[in-house]
Amino acid sequence: MNYDTDIAIVGGGLNGAMMGLALAKAGFRITIIDSLTSKSQQDPQFDGRCYSLALASIRLMQALGLWEALAPNAQPILEIKAADGRAYSNPSPYFLHFDHHEIEEGPMGHMVEDRHLRPLLQQRLQSAANISYRAGLSVSEMAISDTHAQLILDTQEIITTRLVIGADGRQSQTAQRAGIKRTGWRYGQTSLVCALSHDTPHQGIACQYFMPPGPLAILPLKGNRSSIVWTESDANATTIMAMDDKDYLAVLQPRIGDYLGKIELAGARYSYPLDLTIAQNYVAPRMALVGDAAHGVHPIAGQGLNLGLRDIAALSEVLSDARLRGEDFSSLAVLLRYQEWRRFDTTALALATDAVNKLFSNDNTLLRTLRDLGMGAINRMPTLRRSFIREAAGLTGELPRLMQ
Ligand SMILES: Cc1cc2nc3c(=O)[nH]c(=O)nc-3n(C[C@H](O)[C@H](O)[C@H](O)COP(=O)(O)OP(=O)(O)OC[C@H]3O[C@@H](n4cnc5c(N)ncnc54)[C@H](O)[C@@H]3O)c2cc1C
């Protein structure tokens, strides 16, 4: 059988790109196909998100030779504070406080801006020796047989491969084409995202206020800047997005309070409707899913990309170990090892973020009292607090080698 490539990856977003780099580093010949042009992904306005990346994710980026270029623009997260909040009032005095000094490994994570990460990945895809990057082309069909898989592009070109990896996001057609069903629901919430500049330094502290319509995260960026992930009901979000910058800030300011001093917008405003979507299987014959194609979660814990990066580290380890042992790396028996490793963890986290969102995104007095007492109690238990910090740093569970 003549294969055009060992592994074809559908989707060259953040997860598809890093999946490709990890497998190319392990010696596989890779083809990545993405509907978007590379130029569009390198536009600094392409995506307003900034990612809180756990320590384990940073280790993967170090292993892939990406971190050196990202580090100068990445902001270490030194502390995390979380409390109930309301517009025009101080946050609840019962809060959770995590300080990175409580674990030995250092900062639990870093804030990395999409406008730095995405262009770097695009450049690396274009220069990697064993990656053929086919940007601006869509996969329109997939055919699987006992000996190979074929992807048919919108140009009618056919790519024959041993294995297809679907990194094509929440509406993954790769999963659909493999007959994989999804479980999930819309949240009726939208995250409003922007970057702010402010007078008072943030001291590397990430804050999360649980407001009745949804969480408000204020995340430190390099310099006197912060990334805002402000979750509102869909209806509120539509109204707020329609406001001009001055009115937008006037609604935001009383939610943040005055701890950052005077705030100003430092770039464009974005909005992301939220849903939960989990694929019922992560693998099928000659096919595996990673990133949001496998599990799209609520951003309340800033874990979506971190989960995808752990998929990548796990899948590349399973595939390269299989090949070293002389096994057929594309066989279902091998792919099932990846599913076994990742599916429980990701589903548990997806459901936990769902439960936290439901528990905190309301103004029920009884629930508010109970969760305030809960946060106050956890804060007084150093062992439990440390285990939360290790979880946030991505250091719990069976860590793939690329993250050790
Ligand atoms: C408001 C918000 C804040 C977030 N904050 C954080 C955070 O702080 N930390 C964190 O870890 N995560 C965070 N996340 C989650 C993170 O943004 C996502 O998990 C991540 O961006 C998903 O990347 P992906 O590559 O899997 O999917 P996508 O970005 O959806 O990429 C899929 C790619 O596939 C391509 N594609 C689709 N179909 C085809 C086709 N048929 N042919 C060819 N190409 C195709 C698309 O063009 C696209 O480039 C946040 C999410 C939101 C909404």
Where do we find the tokens 């609520």? Answer: 298
The pTM of the full predicted model, rounded to 2 decimals, is 0.96
The answer to whether the CB of 292 is under 6 A from ligand 1 is yes
Is 401 inside a domain boundary?
no
Task: Give dist(CA 34, CA 138) in Å, integer.
Answer: 6
Contact 102, 385 (CB under 8 A): yes
Is 204 inside a domain boundary?
no
The answer to whether the CB of 291 is under 6 A from ligand 1 is yes
Q: What is the distance in A from the centroid of ligand 1 to the CA of 383? A: 34
The answer to whether the CB of 34 is under 6 A from ligand 1 is yes
The answer to whether the CB of 91 is under 6 A from ligand 1 is no
The answer to whether the CB of 49 is under 6 A from ligand 1 is yes
Task: Give dist(CA 396, CA 84) in Å, integer.
Answer: 27
Q: What is the widest separation between alpha-carbon atoms in the chain?
A: 68
Phi-psi region of 182 (alpha: psi -120 to 50; beta: other; left: phi over 0): beta
Count of beta carbons in the 10 Å neighbourhood of residue 112: 26
What does the CA dihedral 112, 116, 120, 122 come to, rounded to 10 degrees? 110
Residue nearest to atom 15 of ligand 1 (CA): 304
Is 161 inside a domain boundary?
yes
The answer to whether the CB of 394 is under 6 A from ligand 1 is no
Give the nearest ligand 1 atom to 272 CA.
Answer: 53
Predicted confidence pLDDT, tens digits, the chain (404 residues): 899 999 999 999 999 999 999 999 999 999 999 999 999 999 999 999 999 999 999 999 999 999 999 999 999 999 999 888 777 777 777 778 888 887 777 788 999 999 999 999 999 999 999 999 999 999 999 999 999 999 999 999 999 999 999 999 999 999 999 999 999 999 999 999 999 999 999 999 999 999 999 999 999 999 999 999 999 999 999 999 999 999 999 999 999 999 999 999 999 999 999 999 999 999 999 999 999 999 999 999 999 999 999 999 999 999 999 999 999 999 999 999 999 999 999 999 999 999 989 888 888 887 888 888 888 878 788 888 888 888 888 988 899 999 99
The answer to whether the CB of 11 is under 6 A from ligand 1 is yes
Q: What is the distance in A from the centroid of ligand 1 to the CA of 13? A: 6
Contact 173, 167 (CB under 8 A): no
Is 166 inside a domain boundary?
yes
CATH number of the domain residue 319 falls in: 3.50.50.60
Ligand 1: which of 31, 35, 189, 231 to mutate, most ligand atoms within 8 Å of CB?
35
Which residues 6+ apart lie within 8 Å of 275 measured at CB? 170, 184, 185, 186, 187, 296
What does the CA dihedral 10, 16, 17, 21 come to, rounded to 10 degrees? -100
Q: Which helix (H) or strand (E) holds 272?
A: strand 270-279
Count of beta carbons in the 10 Å neighbourhood of residue 1: 7
Q: What is the distance in A from the centroid of ligand 1 to the CA of 20? A: 15
Amino acid residing at 351: L
Amino acid residing at 3: Y
Task: Give dist(CA 97, CA 84) in Å, integer.
Answer: 13
Q: What is the distance in A from the centroid of ligand 1 to the CA of 10? A: 13
Is 300 inside a domain boundary?
yes
The per-residue pLDDT for 364 is 85
Task: Give dist(CA 70, CA 112) in Å, integer.
Answer: 8
The per-residue pLDDT for 128 is 96
The b/e string for 305-341 (b: 16+ C-beta within 10 A; e otherwise) is bbbbbbbbbbbbbbbbebbeeeeebbeeebbbbbbeb
What does the CA dihedral 42, 136, 273, 74 come to, rounded to 10 degrees? -20
Is 347 inside a domain boundary?
yes
Give the nearest ligand 1 atom to 17 CA.
Answer: 25
Is 206 inside a domain boundary?
no
Task: Give dist(CA 97, CA 77) in Å, integer.
Answer: 13
Total tally of structural domains belonging to the chain: 1
Residue nearest to atom 14 of ligand 1 (CA): 304
Q: What is the distance in A from the centroid of ligand 1 to the CA of 169? A: 5
Give the nearest ligand 1 atom to 274 CA.
Answer: 53
Q: What is the distance in A from the centroid of ligand 1 to the CA of 172? A: 11
Is 380 inside a domain boundary?
no
Range of the domain at 333: 5-44+114-184+279-360
Q: Which of 176, 219, 159, 170 is nearest to 194 (CA)?
A: 219
Enter the tokens of residue 39: 């130029």
Which residues 6+ apart lie within 8 Å of 271 measured at CB? 190, 191, 192, 193, 237, 241
